[in-house]
Amino acid sequence: MYFMEKGENNMNQNETQQKKITIFEEQNETLQKIKKEGFVKYTGSLEKLSDSFVLKDGAIRCIDEGTPGGMHSAGSGILRNQSEVVDAFKNAGVTEITSHDGCGAAKLYAKANGLDESKADEYGKKWSEEIAKQLGVPHQHISASEMKRPSEFHIARTVYYDGTGKFDFGEGKELPPGFIISRKIQTKDDSLKETEVALSIAFGHHGFSDLITDENPFILVAIGETAEDTERLKKELAEVTHEYDKKVIIDGFTAPSF
């Protein structure tokens, strides 16, 4: 029985790895083009770029690439100070708080607080419900089947470090799927901490891990409201890339004015 289970696990692991490789290779065409041209030139050629800067709704969602739309903070703020989170969300005009299945941030929260990591999603849900209650807005839990990524692993090749608070990569075809951190509505320190969380997920066993190389690097994308803003955000990101060497590069572009 033990061996059968072990065998099944290995088979599942191989299947997952194959699925990862397939998706990674499918993404390479766009990613290589972006790496060669840079985000400024690449996004300049996209006809519907302005559609990526229209807020779908006023909900707070996780930075997880499986939960695009609205504004984003890791685990809906679970790694941050609660009263600061409530104030920031109030100021941003947030209309709904969400939690989701398989939340990496909730897992880190459980670990940091000595709680049962297998119950991480329950803590994530509880946190989001509490924030929603304090704001007087509804809470919604996003199930794995509603998420825009496979439930077994992450498909993000980028972190969008969003200084506009509106960015969405859409269907993930022209703009690769990535973690989205709404730098607009949170401090530099919290945003950089969440960038590090995203990197640890991408390079961990739930992410593309060692498929990410110097040739196929992970990209941190600064998105500013002005060119100066974009440059400032790029400088901030340079504070968290050291340990990854050439496997993580920094790029950026400025939101179209419209």
**Which CA distances in Å does 142 have to 1, 54, 226, 229, 241?**
35, 21, 33, 33, 31
- Range list of H helices, 207-256: 227-237
Nearer to Zn ion, 69 or 216 (CB): 69
Nearer to Zn ion, 152 or 174 (CB): 152
Q: Which residues bind Zn ion (CB under 5 A)?
A: 62, 64, 103, 105
End-to-end CA distance of the chain: 63
Least distance from Zn ion to the Cβ atom of residue 97, Å:
13
Nearer to Zn ion, 23 or 62 (CB): 62
Least distance from Zn ion to the Cβ atom of residue 123, Å:
11
Least distance from Zn ion to the Cβ atom of residue 105, Å:
5
What is the C-alpha to C-alpha distance for residues 202 and 159, in angstroms, rounded to an integer? 10
Least distance from Zn ion to the Cβ atom of residue 8, Å:
28
Least distance from Zn ion to the Cβ atom of residue 98, Å:
9
What is the C-alpha to C-alpha distance for residues 229 and 44, in angstroms, rounded to an integer? 18
Nearer to Zn ion, 43 or 76 (CB): 76
In degrees, rounded to 5, the angle at the alpha carbon of residue 166 between the alpha carbons of residues 104 and 197 is 20
Task: Count how many Cα atoms sit within 13 Å of the Cα of residue 82 in the half-sphere of its side chain.
Answer: 12
Nearer to Zn ion, 27 or 128 (CB): 128
